[in-house]
Structure 1
């Protein structure tokens, strides 16, 4: 089973390296559907997995100057308190109970479908926003919208472990359409590090992290992400996104039915 976990970590890492998204959207459903891991443990383990793997990405993007720290700060102002409050709510309502597990399962399915929408329509959204500058937010309104978006993402990520990647990046496209793809990716990864770390600590407190499973996934994911990043330019982005969207849609349907 340990080898299977490593292979799964490699496969998810490969897709993340190829497309830049899909870590939580793939890993959590994979653990739930394929290996029979309970939804709460799958979410907690994936959050710990994400908090470790995103650190390296943040350093790389920081080195290249792709991180806008004022945006990271505003997202965290909303996201981190939301993650703490959501953890307390899970504890209060029984974070490891069967009913909460079912709620998390549906939350995962909903988050996966939001990720699919983000994958398909992100570029169209960016083009539309750039074509309608009068609809773009600026100043205090932009800051407030960023903080509110952070709080929504903080809640979503803590419940389902999904949303910090594709959904977060899509929100950045809508709020900051002038950012380059590299800046969107770098800023999105940077804010996700403290968010997933706080959420992971909360799930550790709830007792919903499988540390042996986490270690196996990390051993497989590191070479997968590396290889995927190296060969990503040789495969058309549109093909990869359509493939990933198709896989995620199938996953969401299976989670519900």
Structure 2
């Protein structure tokens, strides 16, 4: 287990910036925090992922409480997602525990996978509405999908998210919400988002605790990030109605593409 020797103000500043962007855009912190730790601060990818998973579990807990109080959670969907994601996360943790996480091959696998998911996140930021329209059009041209098939696809989505989130700390927001909107087109978007956030809490908590068990959590860094990110999320949420949302999405998507390119192609 690694520890920083002292309080690092730059981590808190980074946490504040990431938290504010999360509050402004709703994009998960993993899309921003993990690559920031890897590229800017030189944190090993496995340690960055593990620390960010616990960071996400803590920050999303507040979102869970808010959505739960307002009844914006479909607990059946959450249960089906968890039925796939929890076993997948445990399997991924078992695999991570059995490999040399400091090897260049494993570090490259994590950063490459992270980069691909950041490209996907940027695409969803820019073209989610168009992609959803095409997906719903395609689905509308097919015969009605049975509830059983929808349930199985939801569990399968949870399995995919369990693998991706445990390996990279990214995926639940960009991929999860979009696929859920396709599977449940009649469900209110706020309920979909709330369900995705609630599902992400146990998933990231299990992942984070697993990385702790294998010695890949930097507790001092985690605490320092939270010092900045919690106020940042509050500030971002407060100013979000006053900021042009499309401009922020464009800037954020461009940033994610640049970061993803750096992770994938060096």
Same fold (TM over 0.5): yes
TM-score, length basis structure 2 = 0.92
Query: Among 71, 81, 88, which residue is 1:75 paired with?
Result: 81
Contact 2:30-2:170 within 8 A present in 1 as well: yes
1:128-207 matched pairs, under 5 angstroms: 128-131=134-137, 133-135=140-142, 137-207=145-215
Q: CA RMSD in A?
A: 1.5
Query: Among 233, 243, 261, which residue is 1:253 paired with?
Result: 261
1:201-231 Cα offsets, whole Å, 9 max, x none, are 1111121110000000011001100011111
1:103-134 Cα offsets, whole Å, 9 max, x none, are 11111111111211222222223334555535
* 1:227 matched residue in structure 2: 235
Greater mean deviation of Cα atoms: 135-144 or 246-255: 135-144
1:109-166 Cα offsets, whole Å, 9 max, x none, are 1111121122222222333455553546440000000000110110000000101112
Query: Among 236, 247, 252, which residue is 1:244 paired with?
Result: 252
Contact 1:12-1:224 within 8 A present in 2 as well: yes
Contact 1:96-1:208 within 8 A present in 2 as well: no
CA distance 1:246–1:253, change in 2 (3 Å) = same
CA distance in 1, matches of 2:135, 2:115: 28
* 2:60 matched residue in structure 1: 54
2:221 aligned with 1:213:
yes
TM-score, length basis structure 1 = 0.95
Residue 179 of structure 1: how far off its partner (Å)? 2.2
Contact 2:136-2:182 within 8 A present in 1 as well: no
CA distance in 2, matches of 1:236, 1:124: 20
CA distance in 2, matches of 1:179, 1:115: 22
2:111 aligned with 1:105:
yes
* 2:3 matched residue in structure 1: none
2:126 aligned with 1:120:
yes
CA distance in 2, matches of 1:230, 1:138: 41
The number of equivalent residue pairs is 257
Flag structure 2 segments of 5+ consecutive residues without an equivalent: 1-6
* 2:21 matched residue in structure 1: 15
